[in-house]
Amino acid sequence: MSLERRFGIAGVGTYLPREIVLAADYDRLTGLPLGQVAEKFGVAQRHRAAPDETTSWMAEQAARSALAEAGWEPPSLDVIISACGVMEQPIPSTAVLVQRRLGLGGSGIAAFDINATCLSFLLAFDRVLAGFALKEWRRALIVSADIASAALDYSNPESSVLFGDGAAAIALESDGPHVRLAHVFRTYGDGADLCKIESGGTRLRPADGIDQFLDHATFQMDGPGLFRATSRRFPKFMQELLSAAAISSSELQCIIPHQASRAALEHLKRSLPGGQEKTVDMFAHIGNLIATSIPFMLAHARQRGLLGEGELGLIVGTSAGVSLGGAVIRW
C-alpha cells in the first residue's frame, strides 16, 4: 500500500483578529504576578476575535486570500471542507456557512466538515488527497478557523493562555509538484478526558441545569497528563511515519508543527535532528490556534519560501483524543 499522493498548493491565506492581547494582559486575567505568563508559558501576545469576527467570517477572509493567490474564481471549486477545532454552531456545518459567505450559496459545491480537534486539517488534507488520486476533485479549499477565546477559563492559566484565535485556508489542486510520501494518524481514546469541552453537544444540556452546563462550558486540559500521553508515544509514531516515507529524520528540511504549547514545541525540536533551526514556531506571538495552527504555519512557511522544491518537509501534531498525526511531503 502506498500513500504517495501528488498535489499542488495554488494559494494560501490567513487571518488574525484585530485585537491583540499582551502577555501582561494575561497576567491580569489569570491573576499571576506580572511577567509570569511570558516567562512560564512563553507567551508574547495573542490575537482575540471580536464578536463580528466569527469562525465562518474569519475563514472567509483567509479563503478569499487563498483564492486570490490561486487566481481561482470561487465557483471553480469542487469541494469546500471546514476543518475547525470547534464548529461555529452545531447545525449546519461550518463549511456551509463559509460557502455562503464566499457567494457560493447557490452553487451546489459540496461543503462539509471534518473534525479531529487540533488535527482536523491533517485529516481533511488526507481525504482531499484521496479525492485527487481518484480524480474525484481537481480543486479543493480547506478552511480552518478557531476562536479558542470563546471557551477559556483564565482561572487555569495552563489551559487558557496557550491559545489564540485565527484562521487559515489552503487552496489545493490535483496537479502540482508536491508529493505526500506518508501519512500516519493514531488515536488513543484512553486520553479522551485529558482535553475537553463537555457542554455544547448532546450530552450536557442547559435544560438539565444551567449551573452544571456552565461549569463544563470551558476548555479543560490536564497539561502534564496530555504531555505524557503524547510524548511517550511520539518516538514510535515518528518511526512509523519516517519508515512509511522511507526517509531518515535528518533529511527533513522544514518542520511544520501544531503549536500545542512551548513545552510541546521544545520537545519536538529536541526529538528531531536540527529541530531548533528547522521548526516553524510562532507560539510566542500567535499561540495554539487549535485546528488552525497547522494550516496557518503551512501558509506562513510557504509565504516565507521555506518549502524548497524537492526538499522534504514534515507536518506533525497532536490533538485532543488523544491523537498523533503527521505527513511527510516532498515539496
Indicate which single residue of 99, 159, 160, 230 sits in contact with a second copy (rule: CB under 8 A): 99
Please name which of 69, 71, 29, 22 lies closest in space to residue 47, comparing C-alpha atoms: 22
Nearer to a second copy, 80 or 298 (CB): 80
Contact criterion met (CB below 8 Å) for 30 and 72: no
Nearer to a second copy, 196 or 278 (CB): 196
112 binds a second copy (CB under 8 A): yes
CA angle 181, 185, 188 (to 5 degrees): 160
295 binds a second copy (CB under 8 A): no
Q: Within 219-238, which residues bind a second copy (CB under 8 A)? A: 219
d(CA 104, CA 67): 13
Binding string, residues 77-96; x marks residues near a second copy by CB under 8 A: ---x----xxxxxxxxxxxx
d(CA 289, CA 149): 10
189 binds a second copy (CB under 8 A): yes
Nearer to a second copy, 216 or 267 (CB): 216
Read off φ and ψ for residue 260, nearest 5 degrees. Answer: -60, -50
State the DSSP string of 53-71: S-HHHHHHHHHHHHHHHHT
- In the bound complex, what is the minimum distance in angstroms from residue 278's beta carbon to a second copy? 26
Q: Within 26-55, which residues bind a second copy (CB under 8 A)? A: 51, 54-55
- In the bound complex, what is the minimum distance in angstroms from residue 231's beta carbon to a second copy? 15
Q: What are 306's three cell numbers?
A: 521555506
Name the strand (E) or helix (H) holding 312. Answer: strand 312-319
- In the bound complex, what is the minimum distance in angstroms from residue 5's beta carbon to a second copy? 9
Q: How many residues of this chain bind a second copy (CB under 8 A)?
A: 83
Indicate which single residue of 156, 187, 253, 271 sits in contact with a second copy (rule: CB under 8 A): 187
- In the bound complex, what is the minimum distance in angstroms from residue 173's beta carbon to a second copy? 15
Read off φ and ψ for residue 53, nearest 5 degrees. Answer: -90, 70
Name the strand (E) or helix (H) holding 322. Answer: none
Q: Which residues pair with 100 in a beta bridge?
A: none
- In the bound complex, what is the minimum distance in angstroms from residue 306's beta carbon to a second copy? 28
192 binds a second copy (CB under 8 A): yes
Q: Within 142-181, which residues bind a second copy (CB under 8 A)? A: 146-147, 150-151
Indicate which single residue of 109, 141, 255, 260 sits in contact with a second copy (rule: CB under 8 A): 109
Indicate which single residue of 27, 60, 113, 281 sits in contact with a second copy (rule: CB under 8 A): 113
Q: Within 127-146, which residues bind a second copy (CB under 8 A)? A: 127, 130-131, 133-136, 146
Nearer to a second copy, 93 or 279 (CB): 93
323 binds a second copy (CB under 8 A): yes
- In the bound complex, what is the minimum distance in angstroms from residue 92's beta carbon to a second copy? 4
What's the chain's length in residues? Answer: 331
Indicate which single residue of 319, 327, 328, 331 sits in contact with a second copy (rule: CB under 8 A): 319
Indicate which single residue of 43, 59, 66, 97 sits in contact with a second copy (rule: CB under 8 A): 97
- Give Cα 32 to chain centroid, integer Å: 28
Burial class (CB in 10 A: 0-12, 13-18, 19+), 158: middle
Strands 165-187 and 220-221: unpaired
Nearer to a second copy, 85 or 275 (CB): 85
Q: What are 230's three cell numbers?
A: 503524547
What are the residues whose beta carbons fall under 8 Å from the beta carbon of 116, sequence distance 6 or more? 122, 123, 185, 291, 319, 321, 323, 325
